[in-house]
Structure 1
Amino acid sequence: MKKVVALLFAAILAIGLTACGTSSDSNSGGGSKDGEVKKLVMGFVPSQDSDEIADTVEPLADKLGEELGVEVEGKVMTSYSALVEAMGSNQVQIGFLPAFGYVLANEKHGVEVILKSERYGSGTYKAQYVVRADSGIESLEDMEGKTWAIPDLTSTSGFLFPAAQIMDEFGVEDVQSGFFSNTVEAGGHDNAIISVYEGDADVATTFDDARTAVEEDYPDVMDKLKVVEYTDEIPNDTISLTKELSDEWKKKIKDTFLSFNDDEEMIKIMNEVYSWDAIIEAEDSEYDVVRSTYEKFKESISVDDM
């Protein structure tokens, strides 16, 4: 069995089943048929310590609620899959989704991208392959047979793009047993980096440069770990909304987030949470490159394999 791909599709299937089993009427506010909104929930997945993110996003939720005139709650989710599920059942209305998470949420639940991050003046970024500096690993080829740490199976930079790159370059269909010897789902970009630092994995794939996220606790991480390779450009992570919200509310939320570009405190929070330097507009078509990469996995596994 194509193990990693099968695990990915199992996660995707779980998203669909969970969403189907949960009524959107069970949400705590969200969009209703008459367009009324009593409360909004923003969903985040930690790229650092969960408790720290919860504390950091609280002022952002408060400010957004103040501007919109409704209560806004910031909710830290356990994984991108859990966030997609929550948006599918309308328990979360505003999702900070990575590119692949957005593509899945859009395909399955009609979630709509409105904005994305800008970092270093760019709306795109690359995934990186990180190894120990003393590992002797100097190229993708050297990673064959090693243990791979990924943040999450639905992570764009942590899984999707690196796996597709390896499939293309080495002609393998099963990235785990056909290339890597083992795959560790670390539960976050920081944890993937730490897995390599502590010797629990040989290589981690993360956003560029996730090493800085753990530098406070691991001051020598930039010396101990090195970047060996990068993927092609990936569209930046998104702010996406559930389909239950009316067009009027979508516009209000979009305009309010864009206004935060002029609020130094809010941009500082965005930078602390996900290293956003600015908030810029986004179009669904920008994520077609992610869809086409996702298709590689659809084509590499049949229903009988799952």
Structure 2
Amino acid sequence: MLKRLGFVVLVFFGLLALVACGEEIGENTTPGDQTDNGSENGEDAEEIDKLVMGFIPSQDAGNIATTAEPLEEFLSEALGIPIQAEVMVDFSGLIEAMRTQQVDIGFLNPFGFVQAEDRAGVEVILKSIRNDEDSYVAQYTVPADSPIESIDDLIETEGLVWAYPDDLSTSGFLFPAKQLLDMGIEDLDDHFQRFSVGGHDNAMMQLIDGQADFATTFDDARDTLADEFPDVYDDLRVIGYTDPIPNDTISVRSELPDEIKQQITEAFLSLNDNEEMLEIMHEIYTWDGVAEAQSSDYDIVREVFAEFEDDLAN
């Protein structure tokens, strides 16, 4: 009798353990893990109730947030999912937010994408079109009355104040910095007084205010100030350019389901046929359209990244 009772007790506790294990699996397994859709991690079954778009300021951050509202509405309707635009402080913040899956769609510059791909598995889906081109150049600008006439003058003159948007800005810093090093400058910090100002328009403003000797930005960042300063094209003079740079990206976080990635791609491509939305994109980033992109389009950016990787990691 005691042996039979002991057996029953063992069976009872064994059943409890199986139930507990089943509950634990149910609690920690997404619906996709128990489907036959071929997805090993259940990504394609992830429920998306909101998508967050991350911007970095190429102009006044408040203006971007306001200007992006019609784009939010358009994409929300096209995707059937609410879209929320977030203006990030800088590229590093946007990359980190995508790494932690807090931002779904990132408007990343070329270098930001390369770094985000390396650190966070971010995937590029689209690139911008400006003036019918999928590449652009960085621009060197000085005050109109400056004695500086060329990039060679920058090489030959020590102590100049250099205004640029951000250490991770592809056109604002990285490509010009690589060019200046290739032209003979051994140490940028020894040769220049570097001044990171948080935006391409801000870099132009440093020249207008007499706070910098030259600035590096995208081409032509004077456009960002033309409404407020109609004489900006006369007051600021361009002295040179870098080699071509692949255009900015629209990239997505690593764990976003493939089906949603494709829907986002199609929604943004539809902007090419929507004049109102194209005006919005031009107002935000001076884009005239978008085209599909792939990672290999940014190999030249990876070469520049390799030059500064150690410094930027500190």
Deviations 1:170-226 (A, max 9, x none): 141x2121x21x111110000001011111111110000000101111221111101
Percent same amino acid among aligned pairs? 51
| Partners of 1:79 and 1:38 in 2: CA distance | 26
- Aligned residues, how many? 270
- Partners of 1:32 and 1:245 within 8 A in 2: no
| Pairing 1:102–2:113 present | yes
Q: CA deviation at 1:297?
A: 2.1
Task: Mark the CA change 1:285 to 1:50 in structure 2 (over 3 Å): closer, same or farther.
Answer: same
Deviation at 1:298?
Answer: 3.6
Q: Deviations over 1:231-290 (max 9, x none)?
A: 000000000000110111100100110011111111110011111111111111010000
Residue 111 of structure 2 aligns to a residue whose secondary structure is helix
Residue in 1 that maps onto 2:188: 175
1:111 aligns with 2:122: yes
Q: 2:56 pairs with 45, 68, 72, which one? A: 45
TM-score (norm 2): 0.83
Q: 1:150 aligns with which of 135, 154, 164?
A: 164
Secondary structure, in 3 states, of the residue corresponding to 2:168?
Answer: coil
Change (3 A) 1:46 1:302: closer
SS of the equivalent of 2:183 reads: helix
| CA–CA distance in structure 1, aligned partners of residues 176 and 265 of structure 2 | 31
Q: Kindly provide the amino acid, as one letter, of the partner of residue 104 in structure 1.
A: Q
The alignment status of 1:74 with 2:85, answered yes or no, reads yes
Distance, in Å, in 2 between the alignment partners of 1:32 and 1:108 is 22
Q: Runs of 5+ in structure 2 lacking a partner?
A: 1-40
Please, which of 83, 97, 102 is the counterpart of residue 86 of structure 1?
97
Partner SS state of residue 130, structure 1: strand
Counterpart code for 1:167: L
The alpha-carbon distance between structure 1 residues 32 and 130, as it changes in their structure 2 partners (threshold 3 A), is: farther
Distance (whole Å) between structure 2 residues aligned to residue 152 and residue 213 of structure 1: 17
Deviation of the 1:100 alpha carbon: 0.3
C-alpha displacement at 1:46, in angstroms? 1.5
Partner Cα distance (1:284, 1:47) in 2: 23
**Structure 2 SS opposite 1:170:** coil
Superposed, 1:115-126 pairs within 5 Å as 115-126=126-137
Equivalent of 1:258 in 262, 269, 282: 269
Contact kept? 1:190, 1:213, Cα under 8 Å: yes
Residue 258 (structure 2) aligned to one of 232, 247, 261:
247
The 1:66/1:294 distance shift into structure 2, 3 A limit, reads same
* Deviation at residue 45 of structure 1 after TM alignment: 1.1
Q: Does 1:160 align with 2:174?
A: yes
Written as runs of structure 1 = structure 2, the 5 A alignment for 1:185-224 is 185-224=196-235
Aligned-residue RMSD, C-alpha: 1.7
SS of structure 2 residue aligned to 1:101? helix
8 Å contact kept, 1:152–1:188:
yes
TM superposition shift of 1:141: 2.7
Aligned with residue 145 of structure 2, among 134, 141, 153: 134
2:307 corresponds in structure 1 to 296
SS in 2 for 1:42: strand
How far is the alpha carbon of 1:124 from its aligned partner? 0.2
CA distance in structure 2 between the aligned counterparts of 1:302 and 1:58, rounded to whole angstroms: 33
Question: 4+ residue stretches of structure 1 with deviation over 4 A?
Answer: none
**In structure 2, do the counterparts of structure 1 residues 199 and 294 end up closer, same or farther at CA, with 3 Å as the change threshold?**
same
Deviation at residue 32 of structure 1 after TM alignment:
8.0
Tell me, which stretches of 5 or more residues in structure 1 are unaligned? Answer: 1-30
**Mapped partners of 2:199, 2:256: distance in 1:** 29
Q: Work out whether residues 32 and 244 of structure 1, in 8 Å CA contact, stay in contact via their aligned partners in 2.
A: no
Displacement, 1:302? 11
Seen in structure 2, the aligned counterparts of structure 1 residues 32 and 131 have a Cα distance that, compared at 3 Å, is: farther
Partners in 1 of 2:93 and 2:284 — Cα distance? 18
Residues in 1 aligned to 2:130 and 2:230: alpha-carbon distance in whole angstroms: 23
